[in-house]
Chains A and B, each alone.
Chain A
Amino acid sequence: MSTLERSAGTRIPEGETFPLIFERSREGRRAWSLPEVGVDAPSLDELIPADQRRAAPPRLPEVSELDLVRHYTRLSQRNWAIDVGAYPLGSCTMKYNPKVAEDAAAMPGFSRLHPMADDDLAQGALELLGTLEKALCNATGMARLTLQPAAGAQGELTGLLIMRAHHKKQKSERRRVIIPDSAHGTNPASVSLAGWKAEEVRSDDRGLVDLEALEKALDDDVAGIMLTNPNTLGLFERDIVEIGRMVHEIGGLLYYDGANFNSIVGLCRPGDMGFDIVHMNLHKTFATPHGGGGPGSGPLAVSDRLEKFLPKPVLSWDEGAERWFWDDDRPDSIGRIHSFFGNFGINVRAYTYLRSLGPEGLKSVAEHAVLNANYLRVLISEAFPTAYPGTCMHEFVATAKPLKKFGVKGMDVAKRLIDLGYHPPTVYFPLVVEEALMVEPTETESKETIDGLAAALNQIAHEAETDPDLLHNAPVTTPSRRPNEAEAARHLKVRWTPE
């Protein structure tokens, strides 16, 4: 029985294709229930000119409500999720998303609140955001933050635009931003979007920023550096204080990519390391559900001297009137970055998580994320050595290179792991490691789960030697087996069309 087909009745008979909702459509069937217009108003023909009217309605599915419910229930069962099993996808922090946060966000006082409601009608929301901001500023060691960015990449762009505004204010023309070669792809992409050029510096044999290479790259054309710390290899940048000194010396700013903040929260703070700008991924560190690819929330924090550039409106407290309000009167602001106030529903969930854990809980989260990663690292180190030696933080990058001699690749390991009941780690990232397997077990997995995962990986290493085809043919238990990606790009089909 496959990992995705354990629940009775979800198995799709061999050879049968799971239909699209459009293929279940039968003319005349309906799920919708809406009232008659019922008021004395002109007809549509009278209200809307003929050339603005839709000639034929869109060909949406016509299904009964039960058709709809079964389709999406069964479709959901063709998907792995944290609630289904372990999901050690490196860099993504797939930890348990507490249910209480779902109840919180669904409270009508939050879910029914309209973003154009006057501040006086939204004091609860503003107070919640104010408390969340204060807590996140304390956790990062920063002065102020904006909760507008909807995800990490939007936070990155916001931070770079603030960096840009800062240099402009200093009347300093700069064109380059330094990023390590192990950085997430969003970093260089955000730099380009900010109108700058990304310049890579190499990692040294410790897997850390090469200080000599950095020294050479730094000059007064450099606007700043973007660093993930711990970096994408799961290693803490030990020289961070020195790096900060070097970058500040040439007038540059330090940007902290918070993708891995979950491994240090409560233990050390980007602000104390010298960072000027910090984004967090609340969907990672603060345990909000990742939604099959989003939503996230990517708040962006800054030090005192950059506060005036934050996106507007800025959440403020009116001492005299004892009320919260959105302050739009911010002449140096880079402007608005989101249609409204960011992913508020996600911020409510992050707040709920924060209030559930408290200071001790948050610290314990980081400690156990690091404990779990190191435990797993040690258990599989013989078969899958790490690319760089030593203790890792919340994740580590192992390599499947030793299996190459059996004709087995990292992707084969990943696919076989699926048959053994686990979501694979991130494969082939970061780019600096050959046959990379980036593993992040997260703190919410138990010792038994990690033992099982390690046993599966070690079994796979053994199978690579004894029965490599088992790996090449994996997975065999899933609704789809190694779908052809090249074919998808060659014969592009990105929407269903009726026969």
Chain B
Amino acid sequence: MDFLPHTDADDRAMLEAIGMSEIADLFEPIPAEVKLDRPLDVPPSLSEPELLEHLAQVAARNLGAGLTGFAGGGAYDHHLPSAVKALASRAEFATSYTPYQPELSQGVLQAVYEFQTSLCEIYGMEVANASLYDGANALTEAVNLTVRATKREKALVGATVHPHYVDVLRTYTAGLELDIEVVPFGDDGTVDWRSVDTSDAACVVVQSPNFFGRLEDVTAANDVAHGGGALAIAVTDPTAMGIIAAPGDQGADVAVGEGASLGNPTVYGGPYVGFFATKLDLVRQVPGRIAGETTDADGKRSFVLTLQAREQHIRRSKATSNVCTNQTLMAIAATIHLAWLGPGGLQRMGELCARRTAFAAGLLAEIPGCSIRFEGPRFKELVLETPVPGHDLSAALARRGFLAGPALGRWFPELDNCVLIAVTEKRTEDDIRGLVEAIEKEMAER
């Protein structure tokens, strides 16, 4: 099935209008020496029912998708409201593109404006862009912004920032030769920012809740950044923003985060959405698209893409970023999810995560041989230490119907017997007790 409307008669009539006798004539500009003389070696065409059956069989081999989800590490099994799914998948949003013609794009432009407003509200900020690729990309763009704004080339990154984000930051900035310095964490699983020298740093990067689920002292990180003339970047889980202080209110200059927990499924890591918000005085350094309000020829409120002179299609090599296509549809889904939640729902979501995580922590700590690493305030994730290598434990739990992890040894060798356990608003008391029982059994059988 190729989805083409052309009949043989159409082909002939169109070729005749062009003055050609066959389709191959259209490809005269391609040199003969590079023309392909055989069909591509790709799998054969399937009809729709065959294709769906094939895909169902492939999907069925993703055993992880059927397990009760306690996995974390930057992706979480949150409730995706039916209304959000239905609205965000509307074809008018999904099958449109960048709103270059605002008259035909008020839907997307206004939705992006609402997204920017929602993001500013939850993060305590003044301006947000229309989205970036994912959390790691948002952090990288934030660091690049601070490098431009301060004309300094060093980033001080907390060791409790998601290790993948730090990897991406290093990869992305290899050509710019930035100095990325990791600030270690202490026994409580958080970074002690107070003695860090920021006098030659562009930025301090703090993640809270951090990779271990612990709340960091964001205010201290921001203060130490500003003390040395650096800017402060906070990596923040938006689902915590109903109950935890907003990074903007704690003094952060840029707030970024992975937004997929709002409105989007875990879908093996993407498409996700990078949240990026900052203060108005940095607006001209912001990467990517921004929707702005204006009026039209009749004086009616309208929305357009604004400050485009920052962007690659205008500023080319001097643009604030190379980003063009972003994750708008994911941002729209997040906006709709936030409107579904409202202030009360976001509070409830946060309370469910934090208190059910605390409940789980209490039960897990009672299992003989197990303990909770890094005690202290946390949000929806904890580090469980057992006598067993973390990877073995998560594999064993999968056999018992639970998805836990990731195991932390691959990034932190000293935490080889540790796994992350995340508890979202979807996990019931029965789920939690089931997980605890599974770990107890596993421990008992070893």
Contact = CB atoms under 8 A, between A and B. Distances in A.
Interface in B1-52: 1-6, 10-11, 13-15, 17-19, 23, 26-31, 33-36, 39-46, 48, 51-52
B149 interface: no
Interface stretch (A60-68, A247-255, A314-322, A399-407): A60-68
The 5 closest A-B pairs by CB, nearest first: A340-B269, A109-B59, A195-B175, A79-B107, A358-B45
A144 to B, nearest CB: 15
B63 A37 contact: no
A189 B86 contact: no
Nearest to A336: B167
A308 B291 CA distance: 41
Given A107-B55, A365-B2, A339 B272 contact: yes
A268 B19 CA distance: 24
Given A114-B69, A185-B319, A391-B26, A60 B121 contact: yes
Given A37-B356, A60-B346, A113-B267, A494 B116 contact: yes
Given A68-B340, A339-B272, A444 B171 contact: no
A367 B23 contact: yes
Interface in A470-487: 473, 475, 478-485, 487
A136 to B, nearest CB: 9
Given A81-B94, A114-B266, A492-B292, A44 B326 contact: no
A236 B31 CA distance: 9
Contact of A76 (B35, B107, B292): B107
Given A339-B134, A370-B26, A110 B62 contact: yes
A356 to B, nearest CB: 5
B234 to A, nearest CB: 13
B196 interface: no
B400 interface: no
B52 A238 contact: no
Interface string A39-71: 111111001110111110111111101001101
Contact of B313 (A31, A196, A429): A429
Contacts of A55: 245, 249
Nearest to B404: A116
B93 A44 contact: no
Interface in A98-128: 98, 100, 102-105, 107-118, 120-125, 127-128
Contact of B103 (A139, A363, A479): A479
24 contacts: A17-B301, A22-B114, A37-B356, A51-B245, A72-B87, A76-B87, A110-B59, A114-B75, A115-B268, A116-B405, A123-B63, A124-B59, A189-B316, A193-B322, A267-B30, A272-B36, A292-B112, A294-B328, A334-B174, A345-B265, A354-B43, A371-B6, A445-B5, A494-B306
Q: Is the interface of A mostly helix, strand, loop or mixed?
A: loop
Interface stretch (A150-158, A212-220, A299-307): A150-158
A338 B167 CA distance: 9
A346 B327 CA distance: 11
A83 B327 contact: no
Nearest to A480: B302
Given A79-B105, A292-B108, A487-B294, A339 B243 contact: no
A393 B312 CA distance: 25
Interface string A184-216: 111011111111111000000000000000000
Contacts of A360: 2, 39, 45
A246 interface: no
B93 A76 contact: yes
B287 to A, nearest CB: 10
Nearest to A337: B171
B102 interface: yes
A151 B326 contact: yes
Contact of A359 (B11, B44, B294, B325): B44
Nearest to A123: B61
Given A150-B137, A236-B29, A371-B23, A81 B18 contact: no
Interface in B284-307: 289-298, 300-307
Interface string B317-331: 111011111111110
B444 interface: no
Given A151-B326, A235-B29, A73 B90 contact: yes
Nearest to A344: B268
A360 to B, nearest CB: 7
B348 A32 contact: yes
Given A17-B300, A354-B42, A479-B106, A337 B75 contact: no
Contacts of A363: 39-40
Contacts of B398: 118, 120-121
Interface size class of B (residues with CB under 8 A): 35 or more
Interface stretch (B123-131, B181-189, B225-233, B364-372): B123-131
A313 to B, nearest CB: 11
B18 A375 contact: yes
A60 B289 contact: no
B374 interface: no
B351 interface: yes
Contacts of A54: 241-246
Given A108-B59, A189-B321, 10 more contacts: A34-B79, A35-B425, A48-B354, A57-B343, A72-B90, A121-B398, A153-B325, A343-B271, A352-B51, A480-B303
B158 interface: no
Interface string B62-106: 111111010111110101010100111111111111111111111
A266 B39 contact: yes
A41 B356 contact: yes
Nearest to A190: B322
Nearest to B115: A495
B301 A340 contact: no
A109 B62 contact: yes
Contacts of A418: 101, 103-104
Contacts of B71: 114, 116-117
Contact of B113 (A68, A138, A378, A496): A496
Nearest to A281: B325
A397 interface: no
B165 A60 contact: no
A291 B4 contact: no
A76 to B, nearest CB: 4
A161 B6 CA distance: 42
A423 interface: yes
B414 to A, nearest CB: 19
Contacts of B29: 235-236, 238, 390-391, 393
Contacts of A437: none
A398 interface: no
Contacts of A161: 171, 174-175
B171 A267 contact: no
A114 B13 CA distance: 51
B45 A361 contact: yes
B148 to A, nearest CB: 11
A192 B296 contact: no
A62 B60 CA distance: 39
A103 B349 CA distance: 29
A39 B351 CA distance: 11
B170 interface: yes
B387 interface: no
Contacts of A331: none
B270 A192 contact: no
A484 B146 CA distance: 31
A32 B325 CA distance: 31
Nearest to B118: A60
Contacts of B168: 335-339
A41 B359 contact: yes
A53 B243 contact: yes
Contacts of A102: 89
A69 B36 contact: no
Contact of A291 (B39, B94, B176, B307): B94
A191 B343 contact: no
B359 A123 contact: no
A138 B40 contact: yes
A446 B60 CA distance: 38
